Amino acid sequence: MMRLLIPFGIFIVLIGFLGIGLGLNPREVPSPLINKSAPDFELPMLADPGESLGLEDFKADGVVLFNVWASWCVACRHEHPLLVSLARQNAIPIYGLNYKDERPAALQWLRQLGNPYKASAFDEDGRVGIDWGVYGVPETFLVDARGVIRYKHTGPLTAEAWETELLPRIRQLREQEG
Amino acid sequence: MTLRRLLLGWVMSGYALVAVASVEPLTFSSPEAENRYKNLIEELRCLVCQNQNLAASDADLAKDLRRETYNMVEEGKTEAEVVDFMVDRYGDFVLYRPPVKSTTLLLWLAPLLLALVGLTILILQIRKRKAASTSDEALSSEEQARLNSLLNQTTDPRNTR
């Protein structure tokens, strides 16, 4: 009896591990930046190359979303209506990082689909993206009033992700700040 | 014939494209810097394709990270400094060789542990078999007596009659 039970036990454990493995998302790379000060940056604004946008501008707004997007990014198109509706509801100030894009194409995109951003920084060569550990667009960072990254959502933002991942954290952060 | 030649040319040009795609023409200030750069892009993982290193990947991000690596190498940064830069931004995942830490200890020790388990099972099995075979050889005095009587029976058929 034992002769059969031991291999069967090993088999069950293996199946358990494989089952867990199936549920994991291999594309998800945990960011080492969570709960650390956001990387400082200073970039020209998308709308006006003469003006600059930086981390300091976020701080005045308290808790903000920092959304990495590009006009060439198909998945960004999927999440865009949600961002627009969040901006309309004044749910949270949203800043954009226009990542490795062309200025006319990006501006055209915002004109067509609506502009949910208070402002977008124009990261032409993706250098600031690297500092923020961006490896696929879209990505959305939750930055608190002290400029600390509290959460990162990789991939298009969904209503579900907003409700379950972002909103509870935003509420908690706002409570802490009073 | 001309069609085949055309096709061949087309295929060959395709190969040529693939071959040069991920190699930017770079000039290094010293052969030592070039070595450092080559080691680094072999060791660092592309985060988009995940199963390729920076040297092999054609992804846009890999190109950017190669450019960053090149710039840092040319600034005279050591390999460890460049690796730290990448880990600060992308985490340990960017390394093909995970560092030994409390969370990766099991990963590093697993081969040794499995080898030990295998060795233990092997030794136990050998001992068991040896014990079984030696008990076969040594007969108790009762068994020996029975064996002798049986042998006597067969060697001397008159006894049975």
Q: What is the CATH number of domain A33-177?
A: 3.40.30.10
* pLDDT, tens only, A25-49: 877 788 899 999 999 999 999 999 9
* pLDDT, tens only, A133-154: 999 899 999 999 999 999 999 9
* pLDDT, tens only, B119-135: 999 999 999 988 887 66
Which of B47, B60, B64 has the CB atom closest to A29's CB atom?
B47
Q: Does B86 touch chain A (CB under 8 A)?
A: no
Alpha-carbon gap: B19 to the closest alpha carbon of chain A (Å): 24
Q: Does B62 touch chain A (CB under 8 A)?
A: no
The secondary structure of A2-56, three-state, reads: HHHHHHHHHHHHHHHHHHHHHHCCCCCCCCCCCCCECCCCEEEECCCCCCEEEHH
Q: Which of A31, A100, A123, A135 to mutate to test the interface with B (most CBs of B within 10 A)?
A: A135
Q: Do B87 and A26 touch (CB under 8 A)?
A: no
Q: Do B65 and A131 touch (CB under 8 A)?
A: no
Top-confidence residue, A109 or A177:
A109
Top-confidence residue, B152 or B95:
B95
Q: Which helix (H) or strand (E) holds B65?
A: helix B60-74
Report pLDDT for B51.
Answer: 84
